Chains A and B, each alone.
Chain A
Amino acid sequence: MNSPQVLITGNGDQRQTLVVVFLRGAADGLALVAPIEDDNYYRARPRIGIAKKDAVKLDGFFGFHPQLAPLAPVFSAGELAIVHGAGSEDQSRSHFEAQDLMEHGGVAAGGWLGRFLRARPAPASGALACVALGKALPECLLGAPTVTVMQTLDDFALGAKRPGLRPEIERLYALEHGQLGSAARDTFDALQRIDQMRAIPYKPANEASYGNDEFSEGLKQIARLIKADVGLESASIDVDGWDSHFTQQTLLTPLVDKLGTGLAAFHKDLGSRMATTSVVVMTEFGRRVRENSAFGTDHGRGSVMFLMGGGVKGGRVHGKWAGLSDDLLEGPGDLPVINNYRNVLAPILMRHGAGADQLPRIFPDFSLQPLAL
């Protein structure tokens, strides 16, 4: 008998899921992953730099923000890769323009994830192939074949208030032969799986402990969908509020905590399923190297990206690192973007089935040099 995955998506045992986490508001890469062995860092950030003693040491040069400690074991296990100096070519330092450019994947129609889902040889077609956690469709998913914007699994209920409706719909479609009938059967199958999930209170595996916030809640729903084999091929989720112009430490501590706790719990919860799951964490740009008078940082250029799971070459900080001396900084004193985000996403998309000939359509007008991730 065919597995439900085959029935729903037709993609057989390629049960891969790509999860995109977008940190909105421009997250400070130099606070998330601090160059703690670079004296220039502490000269530029005398009051708000991540102190060497507090940082979680990664590779002898970089250190995690203390609140990212839950991710340290994932990094050491080689399942988390970091790319520093990552970002886009956008020079506007405007949240809107930079997010647009990054999510569209250039001056292009639709979003890069939407184009990816559409461009593959067997486009994602299941009812639950793609979900966006939250209230609105993110721009990166524009143009996707089907997207479900959801906050909880309850959004998948059909006729909860009208118990008589669903069986009658099912009965009528059972009389249908051909395409429409089989599409209906696949849909009822997925619904049944969701029902079973909903019926049992969710207990994360491996004693994973999620936080009590929207981000953790969203990741938990994604983990449940992955484990239920409903054909989830990609999911997106945002963490808002990274625009740290003043009192950065106070602002970032709870946010970074949310990020670290959520990602670590997700990793633990999925266990062996992490091998076929990739998580990408990205933000529109980084922040000025030098702190401002309000204990904050202003809009800059390069930031970090995280890649977790899915056979990623983890335990390393990838890409070139320029250094923080004044002559190496860009414009008003920003970490330059050395690693274009497309070159970080490309190897992940290839692992998720994008062919070399499809990449130029996903990222038009850009000469790709994918990083070895």
Chain B
Amino acid sequence: MGAGTLAAVSCERAKGARGGLLRFIGKPTAATLEGSLQAPAASEIDEVSHLLARLTFGAAPGDYARVSAIGAQNFIEEQLAPAAISDYQCDRVIRHEFSSLENPVSRLFPRKGDNKDPLQQLFPALRDHGAGVSDLYEYKEKVLLNELTGATVMRAVLSKRQLFEVMVNFWSDHFNIDPSKGECKWLKAADDRDVIRSHALGNFRDLVRASAVSPAMLWYLDGRVNRSKGADEKPNENYARELMELHTLGVHGGYSQADVMEVARCLTGWTVRDKKQFFKGRVEFHHDLHDDGAKQVLGQEIAAGGGARDLDRLLDIVALHPSTAHYIAWKLCRRFIADEPPAAAVEVTAKAFGDSKGDIRTTLRALFTSEEFRGPAFRAQKFKRPLHFVVSALRASNAETNVSPQLVEYLLRLGHAPFRYPTPDGYPEESTHWQSTLLWRWNFAAALADNQIKGTTIEFEALRTKLGGDEALMATFLGRTATEAEQSAYRESGSGLALLVASPAFQRC
């Protein structure tokens, strides 16, 4: 048989079995639409609609009313403290549907029996014969990527900790790892859980440190083969360079090639056990492979004999460096304010980052209270990236979804499926990169409106009735009342919901 078929078939079957379970435990994603569903009444994006557009993956019915009631500042504080938000429904779905992601590192690699699905247990005739170890590795790789992708989209749609999910998305790009490289295919799941999600609203230095010793990152940027065995073995500079260029200081952050080489020396000896070894996936420091001489990074001395502690000395220098504060602030402002962020906002954000020693919450609070973020000048100016676009459509339409492969297919066509970006810089943020995706946005809009995406359904009439008619429905999607042109297009299109999702205004946030 052709290679790949076995794994694909088994995955499909396993997925089907889980889809059945989802139906069994009830309809988890569509809300019951209780409480006030009052839609925006202003003709321009107001403060509440702006907050919902930027701090979340899009407003769901009722969000505008709720945030208006508690007030903008309380909403920001609520979102900055995700642990205090009860997210029972989302947690339950993730536990039920994406259980592989909870495995400890060693169990992310496949073991005998991993590909046994319930159907095969019941009907031995269905069993795939001749599945070797490589088949099992392939199988597990697909299961993990499917679950990682599915859980990411599901959380974006469903979680009440919306800002947390937005920041997970931000850091996933900032510390991008493409699972298709080497053993990242199994290890990225641990990176997502133990690095990105553990520190998304924590402290930046802790986040960088977790990433530096993340098994997946050690694979992705070749840290695992960065070692020094005497003078003739040159360190591998890959991670060292990206640590400074992409993760901390930024490309104009004031480091030199000599600094790159010194940073690489600091990190020699850190490695991860591969799939052929015992304790696969375990991160270790090998003193005998570490260059233990003195180093100088950005003009600061790291004394000889530091061993594994070189990593922490190094992070003391780069993680909270003023260039890092500026670079992270600039990236955050680019994400939350504008593709070309205003300098004043970057400055107050960078100052908060520095003063708080990299506390991400404090940094974000400063950004969200900056004049530039709050004022009207930058509202509705950003172009939603495709994931944001798709998720915001699902949220606004109160869709019931199991994040089927058919839904993910749209993200692939839009070039923005999670965990599919090859280079360490992460998916681009600027709108220019995403302009060519319009056709598939419109196709998605039409398919969603006509319930043509397997596993995803909307109930348009019920939604319209609950919201109180066409005008309120339009305002719920657009974050403001519809213009005359939009109203007329909505009426004439024959599919109001498709038109709204496809409209220029819905591409913006």
For B439, the chain A residues whose CB sits under 8 A away are 127, 156, 158, 187, 190-191
> Taking the complex as formed, is B203 at the interface, i.e. its CB lies under 8 A from any CB of chain A?
no
A92 touches B3 (CB 8 A): no
Partner of B412, one of A147, A164, A186, A243: A147
Measured CB to CB, the closest approach of chain B to A361, in angstroms, equals 9
Measured CB to CB, the closest approach of chain A to B406, in angstroms, equals 11
Task: Report Cα–Cα, A284/B134, bound state, in Å.
Answer: 15
B438 touches A107 (CB 8 A): no
Smallest CB gap from B134: residue in A: A94
Smallest CB gap from B405: residue in A: A136
Task: Report Cα–Cα, A94/B435, bound state, in Å.
Answer: 40
Task: Report Cα–Cα, A110/B425, bound state, in Å.
Answer: 13
A179 touches B435 (CB 8 A): yes
A162 touches B435 (CB 8 A): no
A171 touches B485 (CB 8 A): yes
> Taking the complex as formed, is B220 at the interface, i.e. its CB lies under 8 A from any CB of chain A?
yes
A143 touches B498 (CB 8 A): no
Measured CB to CB, the closest approach of chain A to B339, in angstroms, equals 11
For B181, the chain A residues whose CB sits under 8 A away are 104, 107-109
Measured CB to CB, the closest approach of chain B to A8, in angstroms, equals 9
Smallest CB gap from B431: residue in A: A179
For B421, the chain A residues whose CB sits under 8 A away are 110, 143
The segment out of B344-352, B355-363, B487-495 that lies at the interface is: B487-495
Task: Report Cα–Cα, A173/B485, bound state, in Å.
Answer: 11
For A241, the chain B residues whose CB sits under 8 A away are 1-2
Task: Report Cα–Cα, A111/B421, bound state, in Å.
Answer: 10
Measured CB to CB, the closest approach of chain B to A234, in angstroms, equals 14
The segment out of B83-91, B293-301, B388-396, B499-507 that lies at the interface is: B499-507
Question: What 1/0 mask marks residues of chain B from 172 to 195 whose CB sits below 8 Å from any chain A CB?
Answer: 000000101110100000000000
Task: Report Cα–Cα, A96/B5, bound state, in Å.
Answer: 10
Measured CB to CB, the closest approach of chain A to B66, in angstroms, equals 30
Measured CB to CB, the closest approach of chain B to A328, in angstroms, equals 27
A184 touches B420 (CB 8 A): no
Measured CB to CB, the closest approach of chain A to B329, in angstroms, equals 26
For A125, the chain B residues whose CB sits under 8 A away are 435-436
Partner of B3, one of A99, A143, A144, A180: A99
The A-contacting residues of B in range 434-453, CB under 8 angstroms, are 435-440, 442-443, 446, 449-450
B499 touches A92 (CB 8 A): no
> Taking the complex as formed, is B415 at the interface, i.e. its CB lies under 8 A from any CB of chain A?
yes
For A179, the chain B residues whose CB sits under 8 A away are 431-432, 435
A107 touches B436 (CB 8 A): no
Question: What 1/0 mask marks residues of chain A from 108 to 147 whose CB sits below 8 Å from any chain B CB?
Answer: 1111001100100000011101000000010100111111
For B438, the chain A residues whose CB sits under 8 A away are 127, 183-184, 187
B485 touches A162 (CB 8 A): no
Q: Assuming the A-B contacts A162-B494, A165-B499, are A243 and B180 also in contact, with contact meaning beta carbons closer than 8 angstroms in the complex? A: no
For A156, the chain B residues whose CB sits under 8 A away are 439
Measured CB to CB, the closest approach of chain A to B392, in angstroms, equals 17
Measured CB to CB, the closest approach of chain B to A126, in angstroms, equals 6
Question: What 1/0 mask marks residues of chain B from 136 to 180 whose CB sits below 8 Å from any chain A CB?
Answer: 011000000000000000000000000000000000000000101
Task: Report Cα–Cα, A96/B438, bound state, in Å.
Answer: 34
B489 touches A127 (CB 8 A): no
A240 touches B2 (CB 8 A): yes
Partner of A139, one of B132, B180, B503, B504: B180
The A-contacting residues of B in range 5-20, CB under 8 angstroms, are 5, 7
Measured CB to CB, the closest approach of chain A to B470, in angstroms, equals 15
> Taking the complex as formed, is B4 at the interface, i.e. its CB lies under 8 A from any CB of chain A?
yes
For B502, the chain A residues whose CB sits under 8 A away are 165, 169
B446 touches A159 (CB 8 A): yes
Partner of B493, one of A94, A147, A162, A176: A162
For A190, the chain B residues whose CB sits under 8 A away are 439
Partner of B383, one of A126, A173, A180, A187: A180
Task: Report Cα–Cα, A163/B495, bound state, in Å.
Answer: 10
> Taking the complex as formed, is A148 at the interface, i.e. its CB lies under 8 A from any CB of chain B?
yes
A142 touches B180 (CB 8 A): yes
The A-contacting residues of B in range 118-136, CB under 8 angstroms, are 132, 134-135
> Taking the complex as formed, is B413 at the interface, i.e. its CB lies under 8 A from any CB of chain A?
yes
Task: Report Cα–Cα, A26/B498, bound state, in Å.
Answer: 45
Question: What 1/0 mask marks residues of chain A from 295 to 323 whose CB sits below 8 Å from any chain B CB?
Answer: 00000000000000000000000000000
> Taking the complex as formed, is B422 at the interface, i.e. its CB lies under 8 A from any CB of chain A?
yes
A110 touches B412 (CB 8 A): no
For A191, the chain B residues whose CB sits under 8 A away are 439
B446 touches A158 (CB 8 A): yes
> Taking the complex as formed, is A200 at the interface, i.e. its CB lies under 8 A from any CB of chain B?
no
The B-contacting residues of A in range 255-279, CB under 8 angstroms, are none
B415 touches A147 (CB 8 A): yes
> Taking the complex as formed, is A193 at the interface, i.e. its CB lies under 8 A from any CB of chain B?
no
For B288, the chain A residues whose CB sits under 8 A away are none
Task: Report Cα–Cα, A99/B24, bound state, in Å.
Answer: 38
Question: What 1/0 mask marks residues of chain B from 385 to 426 whose CB sits below 8 Å from any chain A CB?
Answer: 000000000000000000000000100111100001111000
For A167, the chain B residues whose CB sits under 8 A away are 492
For A286, the chain B residues whose CB sits under 8 A away are none
A145 touches B436 (CB 8 A): yes
A92 touches B134 (CB 8 A): yes
Task: Report Cα–Cα, A139/B499, bound state, in Å.
Answer: 34
B422 touches A114 (CB 8 A): yes
Partner of B442, one of A107, A148, A169: A169
For B117, the chain A residues whose CB sits under 8 A away are none
> Taking the complex as formed, is A161 at the interface, i.e. its CB lies under 8 A from any CB of chain B?
yes
For B435, the chain A residues whose CB sits under 8 A away are 125, 179-180, 183
For B138, the chain A residues whose CB sits under 8 A away are 96
B134 touches A97 (CB 8 A): yes
Task: Report Cα–Cα, A216/B420, bound state, in Å.
Answer: 30
Smallest CB gap from A24: residue in B: B2
B134 touches A96 (CB 8 A): yes
Partner of A110, one of B2, B180, B486, B494: B180
For B184, the chain A residues whose CB sits under 8 A away are 109
Task: Report Cα–Cα, A108/B238, bound state, in Å.
Answer: 13
B4 touches A168 (CB 8 A): no
Measured CB to CB, the closest approach of chain B to A310, in angstroms, equals 25
Measured CB to CB, the closest approach of chain B to A124, in angstroms, equals 9
A25 touches B436 (CB 8 A): no
A163 touches B494 (CB 8 A): yes
A-B contact pairs, 21 of them (CB 8 A): A26-B3, A95-B3, A96-B7, A96-B134, A115-B422, A143-B422, A145-B433, A147-B413, A147-B415, A158-B443, A158-B446, A167-B492, A168-B499, A169-B442, A172-B485, A172-B503, A183-B436, A183-B438, A186-B436, A240-B2, A241-B1
Task: Please give the residue numbers on chain A whose beta carbons come within 8 Å of chain B beta carbons, in ascending order.
Answer: 24-26, 92, 94-97, 99, 104, 107-111, 114-115, 118, 125-127, 129, 137, 139, 142-149, 156, 158-159, 161-165, 167-169, 171-173, 175-176, 179-180, 183-184, 186-187, 190-191, 240-243, 284
Task: Please give the residue numbers on chain B whose beta carbons come within 8 Å of chain A beta carbons, in ascending order.
Answer: 1-5, 7, 132, 134-135, 137-138, 178, 180-182, 184, 220, 383, 409, 412-415, 420-423, 431-433, 435-440, 442-443, 446, 449-450, 485-486, 489, 492-495, 498-499, 502-504, 507
Given contacts A25-B2, A164-B492, A168-B499, 5 further A-B contacts (CB under 8 A): A96-B7, A175-B504, A180-B383, A183-B435, A187-B438
Q: Which 5 A-B pairs have the closest CB atoms?
A: A110-B422, A95-B3, A143-B422, A109-B178, A164-B494
